[in-house]
């Protein structure tokens, strides 16, 4: 799929907290404008996609030429307001079953591609951002490491893979990170639950780790 055309809505969105570094006017065909030090963004209204019939890149069966965008029989039209309404009205988070709201969107997927359901049933397999992290934590091994432990694999002294104790998966990591401690903390949240205080603590742990790692 390749974008053939993008139709943007006629009223802009002020990017809060974003200010241009100078006071000059910077207006172009880009959806990001800078006017007198204020940054404006023009969201998409309708996106027209060119879908190659081969299922591969757009230059597979439809070689790029001066008119490939006009292959109307290969178009797929995405109407953003309808898509957003469907997500709010019908889509529910797979973890907490909550709705999608502004600043708390249900838009995180754990898969590359999934079966498309009927329009009126909403989307499946999507999560809130924090619910995605909590769900992943509940599915990962957090057993304490020990030498010669019952692990599926052991690369350079770093056990990873399926744990023979809990049966869950542990990803390989070369250096120590707060991953296991953060996952243990998130596993204290009951299935289907959310906890802002715990998630703030998880963010703090990772923020401190990154600050230390990039000194």
Nearest to 135 by CA among 93, 167, 104: 93
pLDDT at 23: 46
Nearest to 9 by CA among 89, 88, 81: 81
* Cα–Cα dist 162/141, whole Å: 8
pLDDT at 57: 65
Structure tokens at 150: 């019952």
Q: Tens-digit pLDDT profile for the chain (215 aa)?
A: 888 889 998 888 886 555 544 444 555 567 888 777 788 888 889 999 988 877 766 566 676 666 778 888 888 999 999 988 999 999 999 999 999 998 899 999 998 776 777 878 888 899 999 999 999 999 999 887 654 456 666 655 667 788 877 888 888 887 888 999 999 999 999 999 999 999 999 999 999 999 988 87
Give every CB contact of residue 85 below 8 A, 6+ residues apart in sequence: none
DSSP lists the bridge partners of residue 5 as 48
Q: List, as one string, the DSSP characters of 98-111.
A: PPPBTTB---EESS
Structure tokens at 27: 């207006």
Our CA angle for 71, 28, 103, nearest 5°, is 85
pLDDT at 40: 86
pLDDT at 28: 57
């Amino acid at each position: 799929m390749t974008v053939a055309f993008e139709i943007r809505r006629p009223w802009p969105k002020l990017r809060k907290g974003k200010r241009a570094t100078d006071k000059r006017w910077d207006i172009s065909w880009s959806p990001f404008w800078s006017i007198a030090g204020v940054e404006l963004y023009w969201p998409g209204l309708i996106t027209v996609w060119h879908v190659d019939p081969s299922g591969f890149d757009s230059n597979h069966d439809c070689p790029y030429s001066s008119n490939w965008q006009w292959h109307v029989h290969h178009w797929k039209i995405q109407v953003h307001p309808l898509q957003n309404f469907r997500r709010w009205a019908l889509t529910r988070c797979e973890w907490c079953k909550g709705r999608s709201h502004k600043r708390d969107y249900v838009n995180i997927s754990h898969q590359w591609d999934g079966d498309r359901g009927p329009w009126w049933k909403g989307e499946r397999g999507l999560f809130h951002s924090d619910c995605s992290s909590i769900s992943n934590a509940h599915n990962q091994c957090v057993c304490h490491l020990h030498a010669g432990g019952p692990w599926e694999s052991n690369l350079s002294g770093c056990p990873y893979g399926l744990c023979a104790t809990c049966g869950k998966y542990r990803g390989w990591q070369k250096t120590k990170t707060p991953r296991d401690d953060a996952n243990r903390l998130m596993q204290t949240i009951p299935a289907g639950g959310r906890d802002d205080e715990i998630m703030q603590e998880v963010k703090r742990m990772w923020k401190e780790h990154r600050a230390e790692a990039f000194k």
